[in-house]
Structure 1
């Protein structure tokens, strides 16, 4: 579809759009009211969506939308699961109100004043991130400040892929800019699939949960607003085990299962001993597009590039050259203990969270490294990260490392973490 085109949306229908890879697309709401994943569209105002964006414009009562540019896909759908999604939001709203009232009448009773902790689960391409965004934006429109927790290391909605992160959502999420990044808490796992080191993934999830519990304990407003947790699409084998761990670790009390009967019945069975956990099966939207591994890989490159250069190349990352001795690089899952150090008959096993120093070689060119807030190597696991640098060159002879960082100045710490994350622009 190219050029200007006007779409008329009837009540409770949506316009589904996939922007091509090569050029941005503009659109404006010309009449009525509509929203993108829970965030209202401003009337008579042109919005520019960068390449590769996929989204749906939904209207409760009817709207007209003008689109200018080339879309790979653009069509109106009358059947959507939005009514069931907004019904879930209404139930969550009542729970938040109850929690807030409890925190006023009995400030010391933290369990009564705990708002909903929602975890969104389901296989790949079932619309988990879109539903999470809707629930967060609808809550923010009612002046709540829920916490968004992103456990999906493959995509990375808050930080770059390979991290798990959390951030408070104080405003409806901008349909173009995405999640606001003023104060995210980010932990570095370092790989885009949990199978590389499941033990480390579990440990990092625990660290994030612990940090959030501390914040919630001192903040009745955050506690009442609760959290929305987005998860990975891997729901079998180790993926299923990690899902159960996340439900447990974050004390989730609402489990929303998107588009899979089997997963829903397995969770109902395994969680039947927890009467305070509600499991709700929801239909996935027909607009969810299956994304193959090539597309995912491309999006990961896109997300990483966006971190350094901004959504529309508006940022200028800062190039820097330092000595090998200026940086201390580590990785998790260090080598195992030698047999000689073990009891007789015991087999050595790698410690998934052990920290091991990384020797600086040309293998680090194109690596994305996390800059940790840790003061010493032993604290790397329990410390969140300040940001990331990208290694552009290693000069072995002169012992110099060239890298780019999103901003000028010295790094907040000389302790860095490496995983298997690389990026070739």
Structure 2
């Protein structure tokens, strides 16, 4: 086996191609640099990356900034070509526990499908609704990918729900979203984006307006319930829900709210005994919810706030330019009068004169407020709503996003880039605190 290497952050010293012979139930952990290409090839045996099998021949490019684990159940030889930040093999993995969890979920799906075929009630025909929780850097999104890919490999089409507004694995940060997973998640392209349901919160932190976060969760859950009620197969396949790493105070309250809103019946707790105990106690009166403690992988890489901020910027850039820089966004100009920009929350419910003596006006967290277009919007991301009328904005999902590159107050013109040419699908736009500075 090749020796473990560390190129060091930012370093791009050339590394020759090297092979690793992996023992059964071991993995090769690799961190990819932001600007140095790396590819992987399966030489012998079988191996997978987060539940998706490596093809038996040919090189697979690994996206920049990725932190991957190439795992083998029965032994494999893999080859790396390119520069990595670090790479090493390990036989200490929780994969057996994870695959056993998948097997239990698969059995529940089969029971739900059988119940639906026999005309069973809605509860009996409901497959597992799995919510994955844990502190930051505990491997939540990775476990979600594995559970989804393993299920898809067996022919199921589970729904992936992403509530992690800080990072965003379906679309850009600041959103809660859902999409069906019909095949194992592509190693290069990630989560498929053909049919996502996206609701725009507009900030990377739920504490800015927790009430709106709850409302958007409720809207997404309501839409999914409608879909499941008309599709027995999707209902039996169930969902896998990724959550934020904020698990204390308001973060914990939002976790409980998510469990209730999405009617989760399996709670997988990664890497924290205290959280497992708290959630177990919180739902003990509900006999249909299983709270399961799982070990986190030792290969999980810790990320500081600066790294997370950079990752958010990269995610926004990827939306417009693609992971491999293979997309070309289009610049366009609109008159101020052609669009209306709103923000959710911040307006007062009533003036002091309309309130009882001594009462203070409070901000309505879900009220829609019209926003004047100004130069403050330069470098921000705006969401394009599917809503037909302003009062439908909070309950409508998103068509896409634009990035404001210039605001000409004198000529009343707003310049933006969008992923595709042509007119915007709606004149109703939602403001955000998400910024991206194009290099």
Determine if the TM-score, normalized by the shorter chain, exceeds 0.5: yes
Query: Quick one: distance in 1 between partners of 2:241 and 2:392?
Result: 26
* C-alpha deviation, 1:88, in angstroms: 0.5
The answer to whether 1:97 aligns with 2:110 is yes
Query: Quick one: distance in 2 between partners of 1:91 and 1:169?
Result: 19
The answer to whether 1:238 aligns with 2:250 is yes
Q: For residues 229-257 of structure 1, what are the alpha-carbon distances to aligned partners after superposition, in whole Å with 9 as ceiling and x for unaligned?
A: 00000000000000000000000000000
Structure 2 residue aligned with 1:185: 197
* C-alpha deviation, 1:342, in angstroms: 2.2
Structure 1 residue aligned with 2:9: none
Within the candidate set 282, 287, 308, 1:275 is matched to 287
Within the candidate set 427, 431, 437, 1:414 is matched to 427
Structure 2 residue aligned with 1:72: 85
The answer to whether 1:255 aligns with 2:267 is yes
Query: Quick one: distance in 2 between partners of 1:325 and 1:342?
Result: 36
Query: Quick one: distance in 2 between partners of 1:215 and 1:100?
Result: 16
Verify the 8 A CA contact 1:23 1:50 in the aligned structure 2: no
Verify the 8 A CA contact 2:347 2:365 in the aligned structure 1: no
* C-alpha deviation, 1:356, in angstroms: 0.1
Structure 1 residue aligned with 2:323: 311
The answer to whether 1:361 aligns with 2:380 is no
Structure 1 residue aligned with 2:170: 158
The answer to whether 1:16 aligns with 2:29 is yes
Q: For residues 156-212 of structure 1, what are the alpha-carbon distances to aligned partners after superposition, in whole Å with 9 as ceiling and x for unaligned?
A: 000100000000000000111100000000000000000111111111111101110
Superposition map of 1:42-121 within 5 A: 42-106=55-119, 109-121=121-133
The answer to whether 1:30 aligns with 2:43 is yes
* C-alpha deviation, 1:338, in angstroms: 2.1
Query: Quick one: distance in 2 between partners of 1:294 and 1:16?
Result: 23
* C-alpha deviation, 1:343, in angstroms: 2.9
Query: Quick one: distance in 1 between partners of 2:230 and 2:95?
Result: 35
The answer to whether 1:169 aligns with 2:181 is yes
Structure 2 residue aligned with 1:130: 142
Q: For residues 349-405 of structure 1, what are the alpha-carbon distances to aligned partners after superposition, in whole Å with 9 as ceiling and x for unaligned?
A: 111110000011100000100000001111110000000000000000000000000
Structure-2-length-normalised TM-score:
0.96
SS at match of 2:93: coil
Query: Quick one: distance in 2 between partners of 1:65 and 1:320?
Result: 46
The answer to whether 1:294 aligns with 2:306 is yes
Query: Quick one: distance in 2 between partners of 1:68 and 1:287?
Result: 21
Q: For residues 272-299 of structure 1, what are the alpha-carbon distances to aligned partners after superposition, in whole Å with 9 as ceiling and x for unaligned?
A: 0011100100000000000001110111
Query: Quick one: distance in 2 between partners of 1:161 and 1:123?
Result: 18
* C-alpha deviation, 1:345, in angstroms: 2.7
SS at match of 2:79: strand
Within the candidate set 393, 407, 413, 1:394 is matched to 407
SS at match of 2:160: strand
Query: Quick one: distance in 2 between partners of 1:355 and 1:159?
Result: 24
Query: Quick one: distance in 1 between partners of 2:284 and 2:214?
Result: 23
* C-alpha deviation, 1:348, in angstroms: 1.2
Query: Quick one: distance in 2 between partners of 1:406 and 1:166?
Result: 20
* C-alpha deviation, 1:340, in angstroms: 1.8
Query: Quick one: distance in 2 between partners of 1:343 and 1:144?
Result: 57
Q: For residues 140-159 of structure 1, what are the alpha-carbon distances to aligned partners after superposition, in whole Å with 9 as ceiling and x for unaligned?
A: 00000000000000010001
**Which ranges in structure 2 are unaligned for 5 or more consecutive residues?**
6-14
Structure 2 residue aligned with 1:423: 436
**Which ranges in structure 1 are unaligned for 5 or more consecutive residues?**
none
Instruction: Give the count of matched residue pairs.
Output: 424
Structure 2 residue aligned with 1:139: 151
Structure 1 segments of 4 or more deviating over 4 A? none
SS at match of 2:395: coil
Structure 1 residue aligned with 2:355: 342
SS at match of 2:130: strand
